[in-house]
Amino acid sequence: MSSLKRLNLIESHLTSRFPTIPFDESLNDYRKKGTPINKTLLLESYLGHFYPGIMERRRIMHENPLFNHFDEAELSREALRKRIVQQIAAIYPSAGLNYKVVKEDYTKKLELLYGMADYDIALAVRLLVHLVLYTDTVTNLGTAKHLNLVDRAYNLQDYGSFGMTELGHGSNVASVETTAVYDHSTREFILNSPTATSAKWWIGAIGKTANMSVIFAQLFVDNINKGVHAFVVPIRKNDASHETFPGVVLGDCGKKIGLEGIDNGFILFKNYRIPYDCLLDKFSSINPEGKFKSAIKNKEKRFGIMIAGLVGGRVSCTSGCEQDMRNGLTIALRFSAVRKQFSGQEGPELPVLNYPLQRYRLIPHLAKTFATRASVIYSLGTNINTFFKRLEEDPECLEVNEFHAVLSALKVVTSWYGIACLQECREAVGGLGYSSYAQLGRIRNNQDVMATWEGDNSVLIQQAGKFLFKQVQKTFKGQKIQAKTLKFLKTDINEVNLFKPKFENSEQLENEAVLLEIIEYRVNILLHQSLLKLQENTMTSIDMIDAWNKAQVYYIQELSKAYGELILTNDFLRFVNELAAKDQVLGKIFRKYWLLYTIGVIEKSLVTLMENVFNATHVKAIRESIMRLCNELAEDSIQVIDALATPDLVLGSVLGVSDGQIYKKMVETVEKGKRVYEKPEWLPLLLKVKGIKN
């Protein structure tokens, strides 16, 4: 401990107006109830490929006083923004990123962002906008002449932003209003924002920081609209003046409900001329004669490729959800083991984690967190290099489409998991959770936006549905399903209807094969019901889009969620099996989490299953299993979360501290706050209201 910290501690001890708070053994007592586990092995397996990178970031943050949530609670918006830039400057060089390193192994970029997200999603996202959304788009859609920009981005000589969303259009990117008109006489594009709603809006880092932006605009060549294209555009002078270029209007979007450290802003163009080379022209170009050419004829497909830059963002989003949930649950579980309320007839008060209700509220979220982690490792982390390779070779191939579908489903399902989990954690911690010092408010508010950015959940998940339908349609033409994640699909409804669940009680239910069959059946039955619904809708709808929209509720959206949860179930099982091969004790515990996750997924889809194959006996068995597993796992969960928790200083929560001294930490932190014991500045007003003469 530094001498300054020691001095602060002594000073706070001497100046505290609270009675001395004795050492609280509650968390240690709860710890002792759990099975002893090999924590290092668990953490290594859990972080997988990303273990060394994340540990290195934790070390840097631990040693650097810039990473301190307690300080940040009192910072103004401007100060927070400055702090984030300082933090990026402190941590970014450790990654050693450049074009070559990332091309060889994209996960190097992810491990940096994952490490930063341990501290705060806001910190990771602040860099992600530049490093992923901007830089990946220039890399993927640009040509050799743009490589210089990619190098500059990795060196932080340029700071980039990603200008897709407008005030009037978000999900429907194909209808953005910004225009880029090609002027052959000067071989330039003229950018314009013809309406107020065409202002690019919410753009991360554009408000105050970025000097570059990837701008998505409707490209006009010879007065013909060639669809949305991406342009890499200088927006501010890259010199000490930091001036905005004439023809560009830049501003800040103002106060938000979270992520205040990020300067989300707007941008408008007024006849702003940019040279031809600003067009990211890998797939579409304009030749020296002024003729438009595209390697991909279909406008819709071309557009799909244009937004491939979002892939790294969505992968990070899924990982960020896991980190948010893990951080939230670390706080909520440790608090629940320490916090005591009520007792039985006699005897001491009980930790709230003893109550089955508290266990039911928290432990299933822990299981979902682990499932999410497994998919980050297997479906996303290790596949992303293959994805980028295949994207370059053949952007329309099955692997690219399948990865998009899996990623869409996972981003959506896990961000909804995260939002539900963080709200539950906040409530599970009661009133103390409402303190900023608990950090649950910050984590919850930052998690909230995960459902919207990188593709609004309700819109994005439709991509997964479309993929499933397209694959099934192929079988109608006699082709076999090639997609790796869909090998189990049954295209004959009669075969699906033969299914009968193979359990009558909770013991029979807690069986891998029995559960996997149900998880697969859920996708199969929803797929056929959705197909039927779509067919039925076509009779009454004006077109296919109308029919599709009318089949979302109860059908296609449910199907897409079921597909996402099937992937999570399979990935989680793989994780458990690999862990069990290394350590039997951990394998046994994590198999229970897998059972809880899978049975929990089934519980949440009881309506569909009851409608088709389940009865009251099945429901009873499911409920019994869930409660038994929650109770059995609650005691082990403290040891498990200890192994996986972000270190105290990085987590920064008074209620999530690993030594369990939550009251001491809360009091100390509050007493250190500004003006704790001072009279209010507005005392004269109060006196006036009360009629007291000053």
Choices 221-229, 293-301, 452-460, 631-639 (CB under 6 A): range interacting with ligand FAD: 452-460
Residue 510 DSSP SS3: coil
Using CB under 6 A, which of 97, 141, 153, 203 touches ligand FAD? 203
Smallest gap from Cβ 349 to ligand FAD, in A, equals: 42
Using CB under 6 A, which of 21, 80, 156, 459 touches ligand FAD? 459
Find where tokens 């968390």 sit: 27
Choices 196-204, 351-359, 501-509, 512-520 (CB under 6 A): range interacting with ligand FAD: 196-204
Smallest gap from Cβ 558 to ligand FAD, in A, equals: 14
Virtual torsion, Cα 619, 623, 626, 632, nearest 10 deg: -140
179 is in an annotated binding site: no
Find where tokens 């314009």 sit: 192
Asked if 546 is part of the footprint of ligand FAD (rule: CB under 6 A), the reply reads no
Choices 164-172, 238-246, 437-445, 596-604 (CB under 6 A): range interacting with ligand FAD: 164-172
Smallest gap from Cβ 643 to ligand FAD, in A, equals: 32
Asked if 170 is part of the footprint of ligand FAD (rule: CB under 6 A), the reply reads yes
β-strand 179-183 against 212-221: which pairing, if any?
A: parallel
Of the candidates 265, 268, 290, 264, the one whose C-alpha atom is nearest the C-alpha of residue 279 is: 290
Chain centroid, CA 563 distance in Å: 18
455 is in an annotated binding site: no
Hey, what are 169's tokens? 């259009």
Choices 94-102, 353-361, 455-463, 514-522 (CB under 6 A): range interacting with ligand FAD: 455-463
Name beta bridge partners: 294: 284
Q: In this structure, are residues 235 and 292 in contact, taking their beta carbons and an 8 Å threshold?
A: no
Those residues whose C-beta lies under 8 Å from the C-beta of residue 249, and which sit 6 or more positions away, are: 266, 267, 268, 269, 270
Smallest gap from Cβ 215 to ligand FAD, in A, equals: 10
Hey, what are 243's tokens? 């001036």
Rounded Cα–Cα distance for residues 139 and 137 (Å): 5
Smallest gap from Cβ 212 to ligand FAD, in A, equals: 13
Rounded Cα–Cα distance for residues 216 and 141 (Å): 12
Hey, what are 219's tokens? 């490209």
Using CB under 6 A, which of 88, 129, 230, 568 touches ligand FAD? 129
435 phi, psi to nearest 5 deg: -75, 140
Asked if 214 is part of the footprint of ligand FAD (rule: CB under 6 A), the reply reads no
Asked if 458 is part of the footprint of ligand FAD (rule: CB under 6 A), the reply reads yes
Q: In this structure, are residues 152 and 131 in contact, taking their beta carbons and an 8 Å threshold?
A: no
Smallest gap from Cβ 192 to ligand FAD, in A, equals: 18
Asked if 452 is part of the footprint of ligand FAD (rule: CB under 6 A), the reply reads yes
Smallest gap from Cβ 459 to ligand FAD, in A, equals: 5
The contact pattern for ligand FAD, residues 632-671, with x = CB under 6 A and - = no contact, is: ----------------------------------------
483 phi, psi to nearest 5 deg: -60, 130
Active-site residue (options: 424, 454, 510, 635): 454
Rounded Cα–Cα distance for residues 464 and 300 (Å): 16
Asked if 202 is part of the footprint of ligand FAD (rule: CB under 6 A), the reply reads yes
The contact pattern for ligand FAD, residues 259-288, with x = CB under 6 A and - = no contact, is: x----x------------------------
Contacts with ligand FAD by CB under 6 A: the residue count is: 19
- What is the DSSP code string of 172-219? -GGG---EEEEETTTTEEEEE--SGGGSEEEETTTTTT-SEEEEEEEE
Chain centroid, CA 498 distance in Å: 38
Q: In this structure, are residues 656 and 331 in contact, taking their beta carbons and an 8 Å threshold?
A: yes
Asked if 537 is part of the footprint of ligand FAD (rule: CB under 6 A), the reply reads no
Asked if 204 is part of the footprint of ligand FAD (rule: CB under 6 A), the reply reads yes
Q: In this structure, are residues 438 and 429 in contact, taking their beta carbons and an 8 Å threshold?
A: yes
CA distances from 523 to 115, 298, 404, 510, 520 (A): 35, 31, 18, 20, 5
Count of alpha carbons within 13 Å of 678, Cβ hemisphere only? 7
Closer residue to ligand FAD, CB minimum distance, 202 or 403: 202
Dihedral sign, CA of 304, 307, 309, 312?
negative
Hey, what are 227's tokens? 């669809």
The contact pattern for ligand FAD, residues 85-124, with x = CB under 6 A and - = no contact, is: ----------------------------------------
Asked if 310 is part of the footprint of ligand FAD (rule: CB under 6 A), the reply reads no
Comparing every residue's Cβ against ligand FAD, the nearest one is 170
The contact pattern for ligand FAD, residues 431-450, with x = CB under 6 A and - = no contact, is: ------------------x-
Choices 161-169, 231-239, 386-394, 581-589 (CB under 6 A): range interacting with ligand FAD: 161-169
Confirm whether 558 is a catalytic residue. Answer: no
Closer residue to ligand FAD, CB minimum distance, 317 or 405: 317
Hey, what are 613's tokens? 């194959």
Asked if 396 is part of the footprint of ligand FAD (rule: CB under 6 A), the reply reads no
CA distances from 237 to 23, 181, 278, 305 (A): 57, 23, 16, 30
Rounded Cα–Cα distance for residues 694 and 684 (Å): 7
Asked if 55 is part of the footprint of ligand FAD (rule: CB under 6 A), the reply reads no
Rounded Cα–Cα distance for residues 556 and 522 (Å): 12
List residues forming the annotated binding site for FAD.
Answer: 165, 204
- The site for ligand FAD (CB under 6 A) is made up of 129, 162-165, 170-171, 202-204, 259, 264, 449, 452-453, 455-456, 458-459
The binding site consists of 165, 204
Would you name the residues annotated as active-site residues?
Answer: 454
